[in-house]
Chains A and B, each alone.
Chain A
Amino acid sequence: MPLAHRLTRPIFLPAAGRKWRIVFTHRALLAIEELTGLDAMRVNLTHLSARLLRAVLFAALREAGSEASVADAGAMLRPGAVERIRHALIAGWIASFPDPEPHASSDDDDSPPPPLSTIDAWAKARYDFRLSDEEWLSMTPRMLHAIALRDLERMRQSEMMLAVLCAHTVNSSFRAPRTPTQAAAYMLHPYPVKDAGPVFGETIMSVFADAPKRRTVNRI
Chain B
Amino acid sequence: MTRQLVSLMFVISSYGEHYPDMNTLSTVSFLFAIMVKSTPQDDSLKEIYVPTPLGIKIRQLRKEQGLSLDQLAAMAETSKSYLWELENRETANPTMDKVSKIAEKLGVTAEFLLNDKQEGHSVEDADKAFFRKYQKLPSPTKKKIQDILNVIQDRGTDDE
Q: Is chain B a partner of chain A in the same complex?
A: no
Interface residues of A (CB under 8 A from B): none
